[in-house]
Chains A and B, each alone.
Chain A
Amino acid sequence: MTVAIGEPVRRVEARDKVTGGARYTEDVRAADTAYAALVGSAISAGRVRSIDARQAERAPGVLTVITHTNRPDFAAQPPTPYTAEGRMPLADDRIHYAGQYIAVVVAETQEQADHAATLVQADYQRTSPVPTLDAALPAAYIPRQNGLVRFPSEYRRGHAETALAASPVRLEQEYRTATLSHAPMEPSSTLAYWEGDRLTIYDSSQAVHTHRALVATAFGLPEDRVRMISSFVGGGFGNKSFAWPHVFIAPMAARVVRRPVRVTISRKQVFTGTGHMAATVQAVRLGADREGRLRALIHDSTNQTSFIDDRQEGAAGTTPYMYAIPDVYARMRVAKVSTGTGGAMRTPGDSAGAFALESALDELAYKIGMDPVELRRRNHADTDPVSGRPWSGKRLLACYEQAAERFGWDRRKAEPGSMRDGDDLVGYGMAGGQRMEHQSRARATVHLSDEGTAVIRSSTVEIGGGGLTTLSQVAAEGLGLPVGAVTFEHGDTDLPASSPTFGSLTSGSAGSAVRLAAQDALRAAIELAVGDRRSPLHGADPDDVVAHESGLRLRDRPDRAESYRELLRRNRVNSLRGDGDFQPAGETAGYAMATFGAHFTEVRINRHLPRVRVVRHVAAFSIGRVLNARTARNQAQGGIIMRLGAALMESQRPDPVSGRFISPALTDYHVPVNADIGEVDVLFVGEPDTNANPLGARGLGEISAVGICASVANAVYHATGRRVRSLPITPDKLL
């Protein structure tokens, strides 16, 4: 049996990526392409009184300028949230946020389009904007238009207020998280062209089948008239999970100029035109007894949303599932701000929510003089507190234990400010993390060829997480092939529909589809062999035949074996096809499913110049089976580093007067650079979790980014005695 799953196989596309061979959406060329530039609104609230495009239309190379006054109609508004905004681009004269597209300039070259875009003159009628979440808070409300949110906006068990009032120890605090930008390296790009009423659209999309359906609806086409292709994505993080306005603008413009049209948004438009993680204000109230047993929890979160949509950042969504607390109330509200609609950003809801809840638990631990790990152990939810069902493969206690040991948590002196090294204050902090696992239907085929190779065909998109590699390993192991014998056709709606590449769906859902397809192909090969008189396996019980070294053999008789190549060639079969169609068991599974993590952080802070440095971070995750030790470690480190940025430096601050983002540029929106990153150590405690799905794997991408901010803030408190409840923890907050 070839053991491929779990091996630290190098990324199958690594060579192409480092040699420039990998073709991203921006690299795709089509003959006679015209280029579009998108003109953004200069104001953040009001109306466009008029647009004077005459100068732009006369500029060299300009083909057309499209505005709300001359645009073609869309057939329909496709549903949110996968259509990111509940308003089609250029719909009318209303302005909801700064940077909202008000005109599209199409020209022969990108440079000509960009230049002409600066010549478009808009006359605005300004109204007064709601610039910040603080300004909007008094009008917060339970979202009316909820979309596809995974959690209800209100959850209640028991009587939290009463239980809180009766608790001997009480804690009430408010926590704030900043607006964050995904800031991927690759700005979103779309290339669209029409052939009659057939539309081909190359798009830097994390979910081609999901987005194709939206585009088809918008243009009134049957889905099979639209083909969407997303080869590689240069950084997603949820930035490309939803179809943002430019995705609809490219086909619209292509129809107007009757040529292929390319839209690549500018670096600044990455920040305003493809979403963000919305800022939150979260009140947490905890009641406990003096032994640290939690009796009541109220988690009340409000996030900013746009005037277009009620987009809930589900910060209190996972809260009811996390600890064994009898009385819990969770609520999530939204408040309208003159800003764009928030997107899904790693990790939606949970990253922000865990900062509040896991900070509050730390505060409680200090209040009652208990080790923060012990406090969490005492409140461990052995079964899902919401459904009462057993967990599928929860090993959170092992996460605490193994990460604490690796970190050296026993060296921690409990007293804040008690650990020093010269002028450095040293702090140890920890936090837990949890994310409810969900699954999606996913399909794949595996073709086993008479060369002894296999091709996976599935529309999953490689967004950098390593999915092509891990899924290749799954197929290789299923068929007894070396990973190098497996190739992958991916990211195209002409292929079987995989799960979207977001929401940590790839390992569990896309992976299960590939596993089922590989099993199906294997079954076909076995059938062929046992029915073939010339095969050494002729007449064998199919259940006794296994895949082995690029062929088949009897489980107990290594000498009765033959290669796929011999078998298929002798039978003049070019290839055998296996189909995989994974359908999540959902509510009938009998198990509650989630992924879990534990984080331990060491910070050092110069007491005179208090910039927080994370010198060491140790995390342990319970995610079931790890498909590839190398890509998993890499992905988890990436998730951790992303959230270290949120903890220490990232903030897309709104102008307090207009609401316009202050720093829509990588020079000013700081993400961590290499010099910021200390040692990041990652452990996986899990074993295959076959209750979850046939593959035994759960998602890693999202859980890797939950709990880090609290772990850092808790370490900062331990180092300094200062509790920072508002992210990011910049030097000014510690002076």
Chain B
Amino acid sequence: MRPFVYERAEEARSAVAAVADRPDAMYLGGGTNLVDLMRLGVAEPARLVDVSRLPYDTVGVRPDGALRIGAAVRNSDLAAHPAVRRAHPLLAQALLAGASGQVRNMATVGGNLLQRTRCAYFQDITKPCNKRNPGSGCPAREGDHRNLAIIGHSEACVATHPSDMAVALAALDAVVHLEGRDGPRTLPLTELYRLPGDDPRRDTVLDPADLITEVTVPALSFGGRSHYRKVRDRASFAFAVVSVAAALDVAGGVVRDCRIAFGAIAPVPWRARRAEEALRGAPATEDAFAAAARAELGQARPLRDNAFKVPLARNLLVRTLTELVVA
């Protein structure tokens, strides 16, 4: 690990200033991903600005029913919050599906959103990787990619985004609040992330000095009828092979509205707008759910060894929606 300077930010403006001047400075949240990457030599910041003690550590409900989630809130605390469990069970479930109790106790909301891909080649500095070392190539295409992307990827990069929480937030139209060089601004979460195209270096549209301060989740009348399901290779403490976050509003056997996002199939938390479109006004039946899955996954371009993710994602969506109808 490269030696680095550690400093603790006292307030957001000074944190932004501390990073804005220095291209080799990074924010530190819970450290559950960044510290690993530093140990691996993947991240080599010369300065860490610890933002985990900034006063963004509370969860509240706005008068309009929207959730306000401080960026420094620990994953465990957010998952346990009564408002989250009541109004957005899929968010609580997504959080609890991630990592282990110990990791969730450390991990922050802001850090969770910005965690890097688990692609083995990205994490191995002896290997080329276009994300780590632009233009060096992508060994995953020919190499081991069982758990990499089937949709939204590019020639240059086939990595997936690893977060569970972000998948639920993508489905819920969450908004990210930022403090940046030019002051505060907001961004829909689905626009925070960018597809790799021919420049996979950056996972997000953020400037290095942009600091996530808060995430808001608008009220959703049918948020209580929602579910996050995750398929993984073991029962716990494993990244998703495929996951889905879904909320469903059914009346008289017809889908009035829905929110759907997939995890672990794309470089970003994958909001399934085509599936949603196909479902609105459709009968709440398994056939309609399967058609919606096809509408979304028809765009999939699986790699040599991960075509199984297509039927797995389809089945996962159909089962999850079916259970929401019954629930």
Contacts and interface: CB of A to CB of B under 8 A. Distances in A.
B118 A672 contact: no
B29 to A, nearest CB: 18
Contacts of B41: 118
B308 A731 contact: yes
A670 B233 contact: yes
A242 B24 CA distance: 44
Contact of B1 (A118, A670, A731): A118
A223 interface: no
Nearest to A674: B236
Contacts, number: 82
Contact of B143 (A656, A668, A731): A656
Contacts of B102: none
Contacts of B85: none
A731 B306 CA distance: 12
Given A115-B2, A118-B1, A608-B315, A662 B235 contact: no
B144 interface: yes
A735 B302 CA distance: 15
A675 interface: yes
Query: Would you list the 6 A-B pairs with minimal beta carbon distance, nearest first?
Result: A675-B235, A42-B126, A732-B308, A675-B236, A608-B315, A676-B235
Contact of A656 (B126, B144, B237, B241): B144
A730 interface: yes
Given A611-B231, A653-B144, A676-B235, A731 B241 contact: yes
B234 A115 contact: no
Contacts of B265: none
Contact of B312 (A662, A663, A672, A735): A735
A589 interface: no
A98 interface: yes
B68 interface: no
A668 B126 CA distance: 18
A673 B237 contact: yes
Contacts of B316: 608-609
A662 B144 contact: yes
Contacts of A667: 118, 239
A660 B128 CA distance: 13
Given A118-B41, A609-B315, A732-B308, A670 B3 contact: no
B234 A676 contact: yes
A239 B214 CA distance: 47
B142 A657 contact: yes
A735 B311 contact: yes
A209 B142 CA distance: 47
Interface of B: 1-3, 41, 118, 120, 124, 126-127, 139, 142-144, 146, 231-239, 241, 308, 311-312, 315-316, 318-319
Nearest to B309: A732
Interface string A643-665: 00000110001011110101100
Given A43-B126, A609-B319, 11 more contacts: A114-B1, A115-B2, A608-B319, A648-B234, A653-B146, A655-B127, A655-B143, A660-B126, A673-B235, A675-B235, A731-B312
17 contacts: A42-B126, A111-B1, A114-B1, A115-B3, A653-B144, A655-B120, A655-B139, A655-B144, A657-B139, A657-B142, A660-B124, A662-B144, A676-B234, A676-B235, A732-B312, A735-B308, A735-B315
Interface in A659-691: 660, 662-663, 667-668, 670, 672-676
Q: Which of B143, B232, B315 has the most CB of A within 10 A?
A: B143
Interface of A: 42-43, 98, 111, 114-115, 118, 608-609, 611, 613, 648-649, 653, 655-658, 660, 662-663, 667-668, 670, 672-676, 730-732, 735
B122 to A, nearest CB: 12
A674 B315 CA distance: 26
Contacts of A735: 308, 311-312, 315
Contact of A730 (B126, B142, B233): B233
Nearest to B308: A732
B319 A649 contact: no
Contact of B120 (A662, A670, A730): A662
Nearest to A651: B233
A672 B234 contact: yes
Contacts of A613: 235
A735 B142 CA distance: 23
Nearest to A645: B234
B273 to A, nearest CB: 24
Contacts of A657: 139, 142-143
B176 to A, nearest CB: 26
A672 B311 CA distance: 25
A14 to B, nearest CB: 24
Contacts of A668: 118, 120
Contacts of A609: 231, 312, 315-316, 319
A655 B235 CA distance: 25
Contacts of A675: 234-236
Contacts of A111: 1
Nearest to B307: A732
A673 B100 CA distance: 11
A675 B97 CA distance: 12
B68 to A, nearest CB: 32
A731 B231 contact: yes
Contacts of A655: 120, 127, 139, 143-144
Contacts of B139: 655, 657-658
